[in-house]
A = this chain, B = another copy of it.
């Protein structure tokens, strides 16, 4: 009985979990790069073919992305790139405001010398990026600033939570206007916030953070993306699941 089952070909599965993460990252990267417009359907066979992996890996990655809020799944229909409403973005920024004003207030109350050092270093890094007009670097640093503030609180849960909120709030940026993203999030705001923290002026720091986030969401709300469907093969051009840059 077992004899007539076809023999499975010798399979190599050394980096099993690594491949999973690679597929996950590949899709996420395509979204962050703005290649996948809202409403796009992510077909499992097509993704598997493009990323050169089995459909199960794609399926697992999609499920994870759905659970994390990056994608939306409709039973028996497929997985889609969500169309974030301006209202949802506003809500996310609202939650961020609650957390981040509390964060800067706490940092004003109890930051030490190393924290001050890291803050000053980050500000100078951002200034350097502005000076050299390195938009890609500035893009990364702008996000990392908020992560840094959370990490300086020494609360692992807080860092993880804020990281998720940050990716979700920048997702709308990426989906709607990836090319216009970089020149936002003024590093000047960040410098002011750091200055207030170092001066231990909790009231001012909270106010500055509030205005900073309000400015971000306002800037984001003003922009309307031009609808323009994209082929899946084009979206993943240069993006591989095998080796991540």
Report which residue of A60, A64, A98, A165 has the largest number of chain B beta carbons within 10 angstroms of its beta carbon.
A98
A98 CB contact (under 8 Å) in B4, B75, B99, B165: B99
Known contacts A17-B75, A75-B17, A99-B99; A155 and B67 CB within 8 A of each other: no
Say yes or no for A228: interface residue by CB 8 A criterion: no
Q: Looking across the interface, which residue of chain B has its beta carbon closest to that of A67? A: B67
CA distance A162 to B4 in the complex (A): 55
Say yes or no for A62: interface residue by CB 8 A criterion: no
Say yes or no for A130: interface residue by CB 8 A criterion: no
Copy tally for this chain in the complex stands at 2
Q: Convert A27-38 into 0s and 1s, putting 1 for each residue whose CB lies closer than 8 angstroms to a CB of B.
A: 000000000000
**A157 lies within 8 A of B88 (CB):** yes
A91 CB contact (under 8 Å) in B94, B99, B156: B156
Say yes or no for A92: interface residue by CB 8 A criterion: yes
Residues from chain B with Cβ under 8 Å of A60 in the complex: 63
**A156 lies within 8 A of B99 (CB):** no
Say yes or no for A218: interface residue by CB 8 A criterion: no
**Interface residues, chain A, with chain B CB atoms under 8 Å away:** 4, 16-17, 60, 63-64, 67-68, 75, 88, 91-92, 94-95, 98-99, 101-103, 155-158, 161, 165
